[in-house]
């Protein structure tokens, strides 16, 4: 079973669902590596006005994709274009009138996904969008695909990570994931905790992106206790393409 986790650092991390065996948290991307500048130009850091931190991804000049549970505040400041979190080349503060949470969020599992409508942002080598799956890929489960997840967040010391961390992970079946958590919604997906690699508190809302022909297939939403004893969990993007198109007009065919 997965539970809601509110992790307190210097700033408060977005809530994570987690396994109940909680242990001390380490790096936000546990056993990850420092990203080179420009590795993930789609990645943005989010600071909510309630002190929470999270992540998101640029999917268009005026749209950021994130987790719905990161959009339960009045405003968010988005940091674009730098591996140094909270020191973006561009910063925009956006109010809750521009937040869109999936209507299934809070009502059933597997719909922890949200959108932020933003001021227009031009693209460069350090600020760019990530493509979404095509509608023809809605039935693709991406099992065994290799992906990268990146983010910023808190460490056991109580400080926020100041450089983008990434990890390379493989998507597993929901049946394999359920052996750790008891059940997993069909609209969620998981990656294997090989070598202790995991997302962790404060990474919520960040992107899971395929290595080959990069597309965003997941939004980071849950982790195991201690963030290294079980699979990492994501909302499945392919199951929400219709809703993303309805709200943002963004679609790939």
Domain count, the chain: 2
pLDDT of residue 8: 27
Statement: residue 3 has pLDDT above 70: no
Q: What is the CATH number of the domain that holds 135?
A: 2.40.10.10
Q: Do both 244 and 136 map to the same domain?
A: no
pLDDT in tens, 60-90: 999 999 999 999 999 999 999 999 877 889 9
pLDDT of residue 39: 96
Residue percentage of the chain with pLDDT more than 90: 69
Q: Do both 31 and 136 map to the same domain?
A: yes
- Residue 186 maps to a domain: yes
Task: Say whether 74 is catalytic.
Answer: no
Task: Say whether 112 is catalytic.
Answer: yes
Q: Do both 48 and 17 map to the same domain?
A: no
- Residue 110 maps to a domain: yes
Q: Mean pLDDT throughout 167-172? A: 95
Domain that holds residue 113: 43-129+240-248
Of the listed ranges 16-30, 97-111, 207-221, the one predicted with least confidence: 16-30
pLDDT of residue 225: 76
- Residue 253 maps to a domain: no
Instruction: Considering the candidates 19, 27, 111, 112, report the single residue annotated as catalytic.
Output: 112
pLDDT of residue 154: 53
Q: What is the 3-state secondary structure (H, E, C) of the chain?
A: CCEEECCECCCEECCEEECCCCCCCCCCCECCEECCCCCCCCEEEEEECCCEEEEEEEEECCEEEECHHHCCCCEEEEEECCCCCCCCCEEEEEEHHHEEECCCCCCCCCCCCEEEECCCCCCCCCCCCCCCCCHHHCCCCCCCCEEEEEECCECCCCCECCCCEEEEEEEECHHHHHHHHCCCCCCEEEECCHHHCECCCCCCCCEEEECCCCCEEEEEEEECHHHCCCCEEEEEHHHHHHHHHHHHCCCCC
pTM for the complete prediction?
0.90
Q: Mean pLDDT throughout 114-124? A: 98
Q: What is the mean pLDDT of the chain?
A: 86
Task: Say whether 97 is catalytic.
Answer: no
Instruction: Considering the candidates 57, 204, 224, 248, report the single residue annotated as catalytic.
Output: 204
pLDDT of residue 193: 87
pLDDT of residue 19: 38
Instruction: Considering the candidates 16, 19, 27, 69, report the single residue annotated as catalytic.
Output: 69
């Amino acid at each position: 079973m997965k539970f809601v986790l509110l992790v307190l650092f210097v700033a408060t991390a977005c809530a994570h669902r987690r396994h109940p065996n909680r242990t001390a948290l380490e790096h936000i991307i546990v056993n990850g590596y420092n990203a080179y500048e420009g590795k993930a130009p789609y990645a943005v850091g989010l600071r909510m006005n309630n002190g929470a931190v999270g992540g998101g991804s640029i999917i268009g000049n005026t749209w950021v994709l994130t987790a719905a549970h990161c959009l339960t505040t009045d405003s968010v400041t988005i940091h674009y274009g730098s591996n140094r979190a909270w020191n973006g080349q561009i910063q925009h503060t956006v109010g809750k009138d521009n937040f869109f949470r999936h209507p299934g969020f809070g009502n059933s599992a597997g719909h922890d996904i949200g959108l932020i409508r933003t001021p227009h942002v031009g693209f460069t080598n350090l600020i760019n969008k990530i493509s979404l799956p095509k509608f023809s890929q809605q039935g693709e489960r991406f099992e065994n695909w290799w992906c990268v997840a990146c983010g910023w967040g808190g460490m056991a010391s109580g400080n926020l990570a100041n450089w983008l961390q990434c990890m390379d992970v493989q998507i597993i079946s929901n049946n394999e994931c359920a052996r750790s958590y008891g059940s997993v919604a069909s609209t969620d997906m998981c990656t294997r905790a090989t070598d202790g690699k995991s997302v962790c508190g404060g990474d919520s809302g960040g992107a899971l992106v395929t290595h080959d022909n990069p597309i965003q297939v997941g939004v980071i939403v849950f982790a195991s206790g201690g963030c290294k004893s079980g699979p990492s969990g994501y909302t499945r993007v392919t199951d929400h393409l219709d809703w993303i198109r309805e709200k943002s007009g963004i679609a790939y065919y």
